[in-house]
Amino acid sequence: MKQAVVLILMVATCFGSTVKHQRRFPDDFVFGAATAAYQIEGAWNEDGKGENIWDHETHTNPTVVIDESNGDVAADSYHNYKRDVEMMRELGLDAYRFSISWSRILPTGFANEVNPAGIAYYNNLIDEMLKYNIAPLVTMFHFDMPKKLQDLGGILNPQFSDWFEDYARVVFENFGDRVMKFITFNEPKEYCILTLVGVGSDVKDPILNSMDVATYLCAKNLLLGHAKAYRLYDKEFREKYGGQCGITISVSWFEAATESPEDQEAVELRRQGEWGFFTHPIFSAEGGFPKELKEALTEKSAQENYSCSPLPDFTEEEKDLIRGTADFFGVNHYTAFLVSAIKKESVLTLPNVMNILDNFMFADDEWPKAASSWLTLAPNSIFKALSLLRTLYGDPIFYITENGWSTYEGRDLFDDDRVQYYRASMESMLNCLDAGIKLKGYMAWSLMDNFEWMQGYTERFGLYEVDFSDPARTRTPKKSAFVYKHIIKNRYVDYEYEPENMTMTIDEGH
Ligand SMILES: C[C@H]1O[C@@H](Oc2ccc([N+](=O)[O-])cc2)[C@H](O)[C@@H](O)[C@H]1O
């Protein structure tokens, strides 16, 4: 009897590990890595580039960044782009997501003055990638608003959506023949809360912020800009080039801390207030802002004696303009939070989160913690988030456009915690594929260490380490780079794999 049990256990263990190894990503699953212009390019004032809000803020108010650093040089990808493409080849990437600096190609932000050197830089990068069959995934706006537009109110100006449409035309005209996937905006919520209030310097008024007036106005104008750019692509470029246009929204997984009705209600409002006010207008059949948010804001304005809700209305035409404007749903997914209606001691708050979300969120103590205060490794959270989005929005095509793990500055190249995180993400994505979710690709954040916004260079997300004290900005692969390369090459997660030595080579065919 005892022998039989042992035999069953051995078979089960064997079967379990075989099953794990047999779960493979399909050959057409797109593996890539992501970066953003201000975080890597440097060359902040070279070859005719105009100033953006990050240039301006870090130069005039350096303490806005924890180590008082900036992206003036960053990883110097403006001069090192060939090395960046070489790293993509070393990893065997299918795609690379990067962003275009608006003020590098349009120094004032307006489309009447195009900077040829800026256009040339992105042409060179794209052509270098295409030489090696690496598909460009281009983000058009990743937080770096041209300063001249900010001087006119930036995204809060009623004409913003037209400025963005004009910029989009320049992007599509110059790069649309080779770029098959465009992302209009990266993380609207993060822009409308963190960047706008912290860096776009004119909306720091505490009274204004108490009702998040700027946040919701930003949301409306951003959605209109996104929709106009999408409609433009649809009308004038899709037939000619056959590409796609989408948007990237940050979707963390929010789970009720308990089964109580209060926590269930709290988590619903949190989801709508974190990502629903961007996903609902674009991906739902109904369109417009989500009703949970509308109701909560109407109630709050009455309580605080405001004459109207800070959430602007959409006209029916605007709702129609925005609804359905994404060929794919880009999801930046990093982490999960438990949500409670009652304040907890260990509450984990992000800076400047919206005031309407007067419920509390925190990470489970068991979840491993990264260097970033907001980042933990929560179980199977990609699957949980995409399953909910699929239920809500009728089976869209998803790309994970960012996912990654931070370590502290000065850590060595043996980043086992990052390896653990990436492996967990792969398993969670395989769960999505098993469940029939249309997940088509994954972009690791980030190809290399870079300027991490308000955290400067104190937190590192790269697969490659960048030596920021070296004028050449030498890049060196970390252990996670070897592990990711192994996954891409073999299309499965091998838990036994250890890099033999830390020397990178380019495999044949790359
Ligand atoms: C590390 C990257 O973070 C992205 O922004 C955020 C910020 C906060 C969360 N969160 O879950 O709380 C997720 C993503 C950003 O797009 C990118 O540029 C990187 O800095």
Q: How far is CA 507 from CA 90, 464, 480, 510, in A?
A: 7, 18, 17, 6
- Ligand 1 atom nearest residue 335's Cα: 11
Site to substitute for ligand 1 among 141, 333, 334, 452, most atoms within 8 A of C-beta: 334
d(CA 100, CA 114): 14
Who contacts 303 (Cβ-Cβ below 8 Å, separation ≥6)? none
User: Is the pLDDT at 358 greater than 90, yes or no?
Assistant: no
d(CA 295, CA 298): 5
Provide, rounded to the nearest whole percent, the portion of the chain with pLDDT above 90.
80
For residue 509, the model assigns a pLDDT of: 93
> pLDDT band for position 304 (50/70/90)?
confident
Nearest CA to 396 out of 406, 405, 385 is that of 385
**What's the pLDDT tens digit per position in 11-29?**
444 444 444 557 999 999 9
285: alpha, beta or left? (left if phi > 0; alpha if psi -120 to 50): alpha
**∠ CA 446-448-449, rounded to 5°:** 95
CATH code for the domain of 108:
3.20.20.80
Question: What are the structure tokens assigned to 6, written together?
Answer: 């042992």
For residue 99, the model assigns a pLDDT of: 99
- Dihedral angle sign, alpha carbons of residues 479, 481, 482, 483: positive
Who contacts 280 (Cβ-Cβ below 8 Å, separation ≥6)? 272, 286, 287, 288, 289, 290
d(CA 427, CA 492): 9
- The CA 507 to ligand 1 mean position distance, Å, reads 31
For residue 362, the model assigns a pLDDT of: 85
| Domain assignment present for 500 | no
Site to substitute for ligand 1 among 140, 250, 400, most atoms within 8 A of C-beta: 250
d(CA 243, CA 325): 14
Q: Hey, what amino acid is at 107?
A: P
For residue 11, the model assigns a pLDDT of: 43
For residue 10, the model assigns a pLDDT of: 45
Across the range 372-394, mean pLDDT stands at 97
| Domain assignment present for 7 | no
d(CA 173, CA 152): 26
For residue 411, the model assigns a pLDDT of: 81
Q: Which residues line ligand 1 (CB under 6 A)?
A: 36, 39, 186-187, 190, 250, 252, 332, 334-335, 350, 374, 402, 445, 452-453, 461
Residue of minimum CA distance from atom 7 in ligand 1: 190
Q: Give the number of domains in the chain.
A: 1
- Ligand 1 atom nearest residue 187's Cα: 16
Site to substitute for ligand 1 among 453, 459, 461, most atoms within 8 A of C-beta: 453
- Ligand 1 atom nearest residue 372's Cα: 1
**What's the pLDDT tens digit per position in 86-95?**
999 999 999 9
Across the range 411-423, mean pLDDT stands at 96
d(CA 251, CA 386): 9
- Dihedral angle sign, alpha carbons of residues 167, 168, 169, 174: positive
287-293: long-range pairs with CB below 8 Å, 24+: 287/314, 287/319, 287/320, 287/322, 287/323, 288/314, 288/319, 289/219, 289/314, 292/268, 293/269, 293/356
Q: Hey, what amino acid is at 137?
A: L
- Ligand 1 atom nearest residue 143's Cα: 18
Asked which of 242-251, 284-293, 347-356 is least confident by mean pLDDT, the reply is: 347-356
Q: How far is CA 122 from CA 99, 154, 176, in A?
A: 10, 24, 12
Phi, psi of 439 (to 5 degrees): -95, 120
Would you name the residues annotated as active-site residues? 187, 402
Calculate the average pLDDT of the chain.
Answer: 91
| Domain assignment present for 9 | no
Quote the ipTM score.
Answer: 0.98
* Per-residue DSSP letter, 380: T
Pairwise pLDDT comparison (467 vs 210), residue with the higher score: 467
- The CA 490 to ligand 1 mean position distance, Å, reads 29
- The CA 420 to ligand 1 mean position distance, Å, reads 19
- The CA 370 to ligand 1 mean position distance, Å, reads 13
For residue 9, the model assigns a pLDDT of: 42
For residue 322, the model assigns a pLDDT of: 98
d(CA 117, CA 78): 11
Residue of minimum CA distance from atom 20 in ligand 1: 452
> pLDDT band for position 310 (50/70/90)?
confident
Domain that holds residue 247: 29-490
Q: Hey, what amino acid is at 477?
A: P
| Domain assignment present for 423 | yes
- Dihedral angle sign, alpha carbons of residues 3, 9, 10, 12: positive
Pairwise pLDDT comparison (354 vs 258), residue with the higher score: 258
Across the range 307-326, mean pLDDT stands at 94
Pairwise pLDDT comparison (305 vs 203), residue with the higher score: 305
For residue 277, the model assigns a pLDDT of: 95
| Domain assignment present for 19 | no
Q: Hey, what amino acid is at 5?
A: V
Across the range 35-47, mean pLDDT stands at 98
β-pairing, 244-250 vs 336-340, is unpaired
d(CA 396, CA 246): 11
- The CA 274 to ligand 1 mean position distance, Å, reads 13
For residue 255, the model assigns a pLDDT of: 96
> pLDDT band for position 78 (50/70/90)?
very high
* Helix, strand, coil % in the chain, rounded to nearest 5: 45, 15, 40
Q: Is the pTM of this model over 0.90?
A: yes
Across the range 50-74, mean pLDDT stands at 96
